[in-house]
Structure 1
Amino acid sequence: MPSFDIVSEVDKHQLTNAVDQVNRTITNRFDFKGVDAQVEMKEFALTLHAESDMQVNQMVDMLRAALIKCDIDPLAMDVGEEEQTGKLVKIGVTLKNGLDKDLSKKIVKIIKDEKLKVQAAIQGDSVRVTGKKRDDLQQVIAMLRGKELEQPLQFNNFRD
């Protein structure tokens, strides 16, 4: 029976490339000369720090552009609040990796509301969709791509 998985994953290697690209851009930009500004990465949590809030906000925009260049959807970014620590301004950015329960339930509900001949089941941080016909599964993929969800979705593990 044909099936596929709906997941939301961030490629860690591409994320590392995007962070390195932002750090190189910061060292080369004229308005950041002599400024202590940097992006630090720990797993899927990033910390952006600079000397002013304007510079930190510019770094968030640079990060968003670098993620797009590295084929990571910027919807995966969850930008935190600015916090002033001494002479530095910091912003925490986390990248959503995996589907949470609420979004998984929402996806299953969307699929069931379409009344297609497929079954959707939540499996950890992914949703497995099975059906008798491959065309039905492709309809589900096309329908979910058209929906505006708060997280980017990938469709993998397609089996006949």
Structure 2
Amino acid sequence: MPSFDIVSKVDMQEIDNAVNQALKEILQRYDFKGTHNEIKLENEAIVLLGADDYKLDAVIDVLKGKLAKRNVSPKCLDFGKKEPASGTAVRQRVAIVQGISKEKGKEICKLIKNSKLKVQAQIMDDQVRVSGKKIDDLQSVIQLLKGQDVGIELQFINMRS
């Protein structure tokens, strides 16, 4: 029985490269001269530090631009609250979302079931497996999910026939 898996994974090496490029740009830009702005990659999160709110927003824009150039979707970033750091500095923690949560998995399964295609979707840990009798139905599911916005970046892997 043909099947494929729906996952949400992020290439951490690409994120590391984007963070390094953004940091390099921040160090060279004229509007950041004389202020303390940082981007640090810590495990599954990015810590942003800006001299003030406006500088932090500019740091976020630089980071998003570098991620986009490296084909990393901004949907994989979960921005936390801005919190004060020393003086007027502002810190923000950005979590990197990996995997499909149970809620998102249920939402994806519901979308697939509402499509009336003859396929079965089941949640397996942090991925969703879709199986059916015809490969055409599976390809229709892929097109359906690419057209929908589920809030996370989806990849389709392990297509087996």
Q: TM-score, normalised by structure 1?
A: 0.97
**Does 1:20 find its partner at 2:48?**
no
**Does 1:31 find its partner at 2:31?**
yes
Q: What residue in structure 1 maps to residue 126 of structure 2?
A: 125
Q: How does 1:1-160 map to 2 (within 5 A)?
A: 1-87=1-87, 88-160=89-161
CA distance in 2, matches of 1:9, 1:94: 13
Measure how far apart 1:45 and its partner are.
Answer: 0.5
CA distance in 2, matches of 1:159, 1:62: 40
CA distance in 2, matches of 1:10, 1:39: 18
Measure how far apart 1:126 and its partner are.
Answer: 0.1
Q: TM-score, normalised by structure 2?
A: 0.96
Q: Deviations over 1:80-127 (max 9, x none)?
A: 111112122101111111000000001001101111111101000000
Q: Which amino acid aligns with 1:91?
A: Q
SS at match of 2:71: coil
Measure how far apart 1:34 and its partner are.
Answer: 2.2
Q: Which amino acid aligns with 2:160?
A: R
Give me the identity figure in percent: 42
Pairs aligned (count): 160
Measure how far apart 1:53 and its partner are.
Answer: 1.0
SS at match of 1:19: helix
Which stretches in structure 1 are left out of the alignment for 5+ residues? Answer: none
CA distance in 2, matches of 1:98, 1:73: 14
Measure how far apart 1:60 and its partner are.
Answer: 0.8
SS at match of 1:65: helix
CA distance in 1, matches of 2:150, 2:108: 9
Moved more, 15-24 or 28-37: 28-37
Q: Deviations over 1:21-79 (max 9, x none)?
A: 11011011001112221101112211100211101111111111111111111111111
User: CA-atom RMSD, angstroms?
Assistant: 0.9
